């Protein structure tokens, strides 16, 4: 492990603690000796990546959040794209999510929520699993097979719900149909209680840049209900792709 690896692991660990954590707890979580961890935390604190409260406990610092904001911003989601999302959400009366694909990873970038009793905590900014999300599989379907396979092989493919498909061949096998129809369905494969349909959008060269999905509570909507809304979704995806072509 390099010093940078240790620093990143320390930041990851701090993100998982509900409140500020003390040195011993972080050391136990990251699995590095306390003196080494102390030096790493000292460096990170000096740069504002980590902050210490009055009791000496550590938490992520404002610089980490600041860099996070700039990282999200660099995806450059335009008002035009947000407008297309709003129109789609209003026409299907369901929430719409947008994710960006970059560096082989899928990042949840934005949502338009419609009023519903179904409360979801906004997790904008998080990495989404490509293998277990409808958007991820739409992106995979529009990459060359070698790249798609590489991404699947390097992902952990955790069984997130009883319905998660983790077998690479099975996932690859389903991509042809996604390419053909333009959409993918996710029926409680990444989280229970949620069903979604997604499509991808692409840059002028055809390379996938991300995807949008219609997300609904699975106690109210079936996968077929969402398939019925796929034409509007696919049309919205094409309009988003067109905004990149215009630039």
Residue 126 or 159 with smaller CB distance to other proteins: 126
66 contributes a contact to other proteins by CB under 8 A: yes
* Binding characters for other proteins, 201-230, by CB under 8 A (x = yes): ------x-----------------------
114 contributes a contact to other proteins by CB under 8 A: yes
Minimum Å gap between C-beta 202 and other proteins is 12
Minimum Å gap between C-beta 199 and other proteins is 19
119 contributes a contact to other proteins by CB under 8 A: yes
Instruction: List Cα–Cα distances, 96 to 92, 178, 227, 232, 245, in angstroms.
Output: 9, 19, 15, 12, 22
Residue 121 or 169 with smaller CB distance to other proteins: 121
Output the DSSP codes for the chain: --HHHHHHHHHHHHHH-SS-B-HHHHHHHHT--HHHHHHHHHHHHHTTSEEE-TTS-EEE-HHHHHHHHHHHHTT---HHHHHHHHHHHHHHTSEEEEEEEETTEEEEEEEEPPP-S------TT-EE-STTSHHHHHHHHTS-HHHHHHHHHHS-----STT----HHHHHHHHHHHHHHS-EEEESSSSTTEEEEEEEEE-TTS-EEEEEEEEEETTT--HHHHHHTHHHHHHHHHHHHHHHHH-
191 contributes a contact to other proteins by CB under 8 A: no
85 contributes a contact to other proteins by CB under 8 A: yes
Minimum Å gap between C-beta 149 and other proteins is 19
* Cα 207 to chain centroid, rounded: 18
67 contributes a contact to other proteins by CB under 8 A: yes
158 contributes a contact to other proteins by CB under 8 A: no
Residue 56 or 119 with smaller CB distance to other proteins: 119
Taking CB under 8 A as the criterion, which residues in 35-64 touch other proteins?
A: 39-40, 43-44, 47, 49, 59-60, 62, 64
Residues at the site binding other proteins, with contacts judged by CB under 8 A:
2-5, 7-8, 11-12, 14-19, 39-40, 43-44, 47, 49, 59-60, 62, 64-74, 78-79, 82-83, 85-86, 89-90, 102-103, 105, 107-108, 112-116, 119, 121-127, 207
């Amino acid at each position: 492990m390099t010093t940078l690896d240790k620093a990143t692991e320390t930041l990851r660990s701090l993100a998982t603690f509900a409140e500020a954590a003390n040195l011993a707890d972080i050391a136990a979580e990251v699995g590095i000796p306390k003196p080494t961890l102390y030096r790493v935390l000292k460096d990170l604190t000096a740069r504002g990546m980590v902050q210490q409260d009055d009791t000496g406990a550590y938490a992520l610092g404002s610089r980490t959040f600041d860099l996070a904001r700039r990282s999200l911003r660099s995806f450059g989601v335009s008002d035009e794209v947000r407008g297309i999302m709003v129109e789609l959400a209003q026409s299907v009366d369901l929430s719409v999510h947008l994710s960006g694909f970059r560096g082989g990873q899928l990042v949840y970038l934005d949502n338009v929520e419609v009023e519903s009793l179904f409360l979801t905590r906004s997790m904008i900014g998080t990495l989404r699993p490509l293998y277990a999300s409808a958007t991820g599989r739409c992106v995979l379907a529009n990459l060359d097979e070698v790249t798609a396979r590489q991404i699947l092989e390097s992902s952990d493919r955790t069984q997130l719900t009883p319905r998660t498909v983790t077998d690479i061949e099975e996932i690859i096998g389903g991509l042809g149909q996604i390419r053909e129809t333009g959409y993918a369905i996710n029926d409680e494969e990444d989280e229970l209680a949620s069903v979604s349909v997604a499509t991808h959008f692409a840059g002028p060269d055809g390379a996938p840049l991300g995807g949008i999905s219609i997300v609904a509570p699975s106690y109210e909507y079936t996968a077929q209900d969402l398939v019925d809304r796929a034409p509007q979704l696919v049309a919205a995806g094409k309009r988003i792709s067109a905004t990149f072509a215009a630039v």
